[in-house]
Structure 1
Amino acid sequence: MLVTLGDTHGDRAHRLEGRTLTAVREAEQVCHTGDFTTERVYEAIAEEAGRERGGAPLSAVAGNSDDPDLAARLPETITVEYAGRTIVLAHGHDRDDTSLSLLARQEDADVVIVGHTHRPGIERTPHCPVVNPGSHADPRGNRAAHGELRQAGDELAIEIRTPDGDLLAEQTV
C-alpha cells in the first residue's frame, strides 16, 4: 500500500493517530504533499514510515508553510512509481486545475496527488485523477483524512480514509 498525507502543520510531532498511524507504519511507501512546517515533523513522519519494516521510503514535496531549511531540502514536484503506475506529487498552492492537468500530461502520470486546501477528495481530469488526501492533523473545517492506494488486480484502488477508518471517497484507475 502507498499512503499519502498532507498538510500536517506541526512543530514537533507527527500528529498521526488511529488508522492513519497504522497505515503509515504498514505502507510500502509514504508520500507527503508538503506543509510539515518543521524539519522535526518531517523526521517524525519518516521515522514512523520506517518503523515496522526497517524503512518505507518517504517521498515528499515542499509546501508553502514549510520552514525555509526544510523547503530547501524538498523538491516542488516529485514523480514516484507504485504498482507499475506513475504518481506525481505537488503541494498545489501555485497550481490551478489547468496546470495540474498539464503536469499530469507532461509526466505521463496515472495519478496526481496534491495538498494545500486541506479538503480531502478525488477529482477526475481529462488525463487522470487528482487526489487530495486532506490533512490528518489540521483539517480546517473538513474531516481529518489520508489517502491509501493499493494494487487491485489490474487496477489501482484509491481511497480517502479518516483516522477512524471511515471511507470518504474512492476510485479505481
Structure 2
Amino acid sequence: MIAIFSDTHSRRGHELEGEALATAREADVVIHAGDFTSPAALEAFRDECERFYAVHGNADSAPIRDRLPTETVVEADGIRVAVTHRRDGGEMGLAMFGRSNAADVVVSGHTHRPTVVETEDCLLLNPGSHADPRGNRPGFAVLEERSDEHAAGKTRLAGEIRQPDGTLVESFEYTVPAGTNTAE
C-alpha cells in the first residue's frame, strides 16, 4: 500500500492523527507532495515512515527546499508515481509531466482539494491536506495495485481518498493502458 499526503503546513510536526497516522505507519511507501512548512514537520514524517519520499512545495522554508527535490519519481508496488507540488498548466501540465516521466500516477498538492482525474496517459491524484484543508474536506490517499485476471497485460490500481479519521471521501479504480508506463 502507498499512502499519499500533501500540504501539512505545520510548525510543530506531522499533524497526523487517527487513521491517517495508522496508515502512514503501516504503508509500504509514504509519498508527500510538499508544503511541510517547517523542518519539524518534515522530520516528524520521516520518523513515522519506513520508506518516505517527498518533494518541497512553494510554502516550504529554505532548509526544506535545500533537502528535497522539486519533483521525483517513485517506483513502488509495481506502480510508477511522478511527484510534484504543483505544475503550471493545470491538469494538462500535470498530465504532460506524467507522460514525460512514463508515470502511471501523478501526485500533486497545492490546492488543498482532494481530486482524482483520469487522463488518457495517467491518473492525476491530489490527496488534499490532512491538516490544513482551507475550506475543503481534509484528506489523504491510499493506492494499491490490484491483479485483474480479466485484463491480461494491464495493471489495475485501486485507491481511496479518506479523511484523517478514516471516513471515505472517494474510492476509485484506474486501469493503466497496456504497454505504457507501468514500472518493471
Q: Normalising by structure 1, what TM-score?
A: 0.92
Deviations, residues 7-39 of structure 1 (Å, cap 9, x unaligned): 000012110011100000101110000000011
3-state DSSP of counterpart to 1:73:
coil
Deviations, residues 77-131 of structure 1 (Å, cap 9, x unaligned): 1000122121011001545222211111111110101000000020112211100
3-state DSSP of counterpart to 1:46:
helix
Mapped to 2, the partners of 1:114 and 1:29 lie a distance apart of: 16
Equivalent pair of 2:79/2:145 in contact (CA under 8 Å): no
1:62 and 1:95, CA in 2 relative to 1: closer, same or farther beyond 3 A?
A: farther
Mapped to 2, the partners of 1:35 and 1:93 lie a distance apart of: 14
3-state DSSP of counterpart to 2:14:
coil
Mapped to 1, the partners of 2:54 and 2:72 lie a distance apart of: 7
1:27 and 1:144, CA in 2 relative to 1: closer, same or farther beyond 3 A?
A: same
Structure 1 counterpart of 2:73? 79
Equivalent pair of 1:37/1:67 in contact (CA under 8 Å): yes
Mapped to 2, the partners of 1:152 and 1:127 lie a distance apart of: 18
2:61 to 47, 63, 67: 67
Give every structure 1 segment of 4 or more consecutive aligned residues whose post-TM-superposition deviation is greater than 3 Å.
none
Structure 2 counterpart of 1:145? 139
5+ long unaligned stretches in structure 1: 50-55
Q: Between Structure 1 and Structure 2, whose CA radius of gyration is higher?
A: 2
- Between 155-164 and 5-14, the greater mean CA deviation after superposition: 155-164
Written as runs of structure 1 = structure 2, the 5 A alignment for 1:1-20 is 1-20=1-20
Deviations, residues 148-173 of structure 1 (Å, cap 9, x unaligned): 01222242211101112111122222
Mapped to 1, the partners of 2:77 and 2:27 lie a distance apart of: 13
Written as runs of structure 1 = structure 2, the 5 A alignment for 1:18-29 is 18-29=18-29
5+ long unaligned stretches in structure 2: 149-155, 175-184
